A and B are shown apart, each in its own frame.
Chain A
Amino acid sequence: MEWTRLTVHDAHKKLVEKSFSSLELTQSLYQWIKKVDCKVGAYLTLTEEKAYEQAQRADERIAKGEGVDELTGIPIALKDILCTKSAETTCASKILEHFRPPYDATVVRSLRDRGAVFLGKVNMDEFAMGSSTENSGFGITRNPWDFSRIPGGSSGGSAAAVAADECIASLGSDTGGSVRQPAACCGVVGMKPTYGRVSRFGLVAFASSLDQIGPITKDVTDCALLMNAINGHDPNDSTSVDVEVPNYKRSLVNDVRGMRLGIPKEYFVEGMDRDVERAVWEAIKLLEKGGASIKEVSLPHTEYAVATYYIICTAEASSNLARYDGVKYGHRAGGYDGLIDMYAKTRAEGFGPEVKRRVMLGTYVLSAGYYDAYYRKAQQVRTLIKGDFDRAFEEYDALITPTSPTPAFLIGEKVKDPLQMYLSDIFTIPVNLAGIPAISIPCGFSCEGLPIGLQIIGKHFDEEKILRVAYTYEQRTDWHLKRPQLG
């Protein structure tokens, strides 16, 4: 087996058995990246020299047997929204081109302390705004299963890099589905933890009440290992919650007997892709056969989630992105006439079309006379959407839905119609509005050979149950072992 294809847990085993060194593993990954990334386009920045140093230090730790963690010596790709002291952090935006953060994000620090190796920074939609990675300021990423298709977004670089074996695992961020939807499109595992579970310190802010960092991995076990590394309270993020941190490895139990699983009827709508519907129902039947009880449930406010989300996230974004003014960091325009003109020209040159559109929309819904009609209304509907889930979780341990209504769409298919693009997140957005955790795992392929994702949703701080359902399903299927033909 090629080393690049290994999971975190397999690679860890080989590293401690000394079948190969972290340096050798890292070298083989760079060789593969150089062979295939010209086609995939997952990476924005490679940090090869630093990665070799990190790998050598990890090998020393392993040789001494001191401070060895499951992530020691494991090559990882980071979404370019995570601040790294060692590499530029651009958020795939021209306005942050060449920006080098003076500190590491807390999750980066945690991985660094465990001896992980950082291969580089991967592509995304600019400021995480998008569902296809086509909004990157530095070029598109292609789906490794079909180069004419999008890898999903906004963490499209992360999901494509994992699917194409251009890293062992990756971290992304999820504001409205940006970890789960690309994971589904690329046939890999992606989890959005409960809001407050993982520190957002050093995650470049898009919509602060929705953003959450999550792992994108080759299987559910790796997801649990990365969750162990990144979750926990952080004094640097006042919204990170000080609750007990579980060992997620204990959730890797192949048994769903007695679990109550709800199937929200609003997620199986007319006109949905037939292959997606078939694959998800087959998965539900498998879990039922495994001893889970299955019942239909209603989340009546689901149809209002997309409108609610695009008011709240654009409002928060318009405020968060006010900081890009050409003063403290990033791009500054030339040929301006005074301070205000410098701001406006800098932002016009630095932001791409989708970011401008969202800043405009967010500014509009917050502007005098519209605040109550849009922003306040959306916050109220958010309460109703959260209430739907709260009621469902009184009766159910987890909810099962498709991750996305269709498999990966074609590059360019939705670029000219932002509203259609927004609707591709219809099944992932409600989870962010409610602040609850959810995971996407591979559950089959369309007749065209494109991966399909199964979403498992849990209640606040109950990542353990959704990991258990996901692990059980994964142990009884082999979708997660399939790989695209590359090179």
Chain B
Amino acid sequence: MKIGVKDVEYVARLARLTLSDEEKNEFALQLNDILTYMDKLNELDTRDVEATSHVIPVKNVLRPDEARQSLSPETSLGNAPEREKGFYKVPRIIE
């Protein structure tokens, strides 16, 4: 097995996902199948091959730093699940 329930729990913590026991077992089996299939790539020798992160040349795009119209605070906060006095409201961060 490439990945067990303990690994699934570790990855779920990194991914900020609460999983049920049933999900953990199912994901362990399924991810194992998928990762085993991915081992196919090891048939290829890629020692001198460059990695492609983008198929087109990507460069920094700059623009003059000019003041522009932006979304109003009202619009920006319009979809927030909780808000207060013009801020997003979240649970206490510092105990």
Contact = CB atoms under 8 A, between A and B. Distances in A.
B85 interface: no
A400 B11 CA distance: 41
B54 A384 contact: no
A330 B34 CA distance: 30
Contact of B37 (A195, A347, A419, A435): A419
Interface in A325-382: 325-332, 336, 338-345, 347-348, 351, 353, 356-357, 359-361, 363-364, 367, 374, 376-382
Contact of A239 (B27, B34, B58, B82): B58
A460 B54 CA distance: 13
A233 to B, nearest CB: 11
Contact of A330 (B17, B40, B42, B81): B81
Interface in A392-434: 418-419, 422, 433-434
B44 A384 contact: yes
A136 interface: no
Contacts of A383: 49-52
Contacts of B56: 195-196, 239, 241, 435, 460
Contacts of A327: 80-81, 88, 90
A188 to B, nearest CB: 27
Contact of B14 (A99, A238, A363): A363
A241 B57 CA distance: 9
B11 A344 contact: no
B34 A379 contact: no
A311 interface: yes
Contact of B46 (A209, A336, A342, A384): A384
Contact of B80 (A209, A241, A311, A329): A329
B53 A379 contact: yes
B51 A344 contact: no
Contacts of A100: 78-79
Given A307-B40, A347-B16, A380 B46 contact: yes
Nearest to A238: B61
Contacts of B30: 357, 418-419
Given A239-B54, A386-B52, A311 B15 contact: no
A157 to B, nearest CB: 23
B51 A303 contact: no
A195 B57 CA distance: 11
A102 interface: yes
Nearest to A435: B55
A380 B51 contact: yes
A32 interface: no
Most B CB within 10 A of own CB, among A103, A348, A374, A380: A380
Contacts of B51: 376, 379-380, 382-383
B46 A360 contact: no
Given A327-B81, A328-B80, A340 B16 contact: yes
Interface residues on B, range: 35 or more
Interface string A234-246: 0100110100000
A68 to B, nearest CB: 30
Given A304-B44, A377-B46, A360 B12 contact: yes
Given A102-B75, A196-B56, A419 B14 contact: no
A356 B90 contact: no
B81 A99 contact: no
A231 interface: no
Interface in B1-34: 3, 7-8, 11-12, 14-19, 23, 27, 30-31, 33-34
Contact of A344 (B17, B31, B58): B17
Given A307-B37, A310-B34, A359 B63 contact: no
Contacts, number: 156
A342 B90 contact: yes
B49 A380 contact: yes
Contacts of B42: 377
B86 interface: no
A360 B81 contact: no
A142 B30 CA distance: 26
B67 interface: no
A344 B18 CA distance: 5
Most B CB within 10 A of own CB, among A99, A100, A330, A379: A379
B94 to A, nearest CB: 10
Interface string B66-80: 000001000110111
Nearest to B74: A102
Contacts of B75: 102
A345 B56 CA distance: 38
Contacts of B3: 364
Contact of A328 (B8, B43, B88, B92): B88
Given A344-B12, A348-B17, A356-B27, 10 more contacts: A196-B56, A307-B38, A307-B41, A318-B15, A336-B91, A344-B18, A367-B11, A379-B52, A380-B49, A383-B52
Interface of A: 99-100, 102-103, 195-196, 209, 235, 238-239, 241, 301, 303-304, 306-308, 310-311, 318, 322, 325-332, 336, 338-345, 347-348, 351, 353, 356-357, 359-361, 363-364, 367, 374, 376-384, 386, 418-419, 422, 433-435, 460
Interface of B: 3, 7-8, 11-12, 14-19, 23, 27, 30-31, 33-35, 37-38, 40-44, 46, 49-56, 58, 61, 63, 71, 75-76, 78-82, 88, 90-93
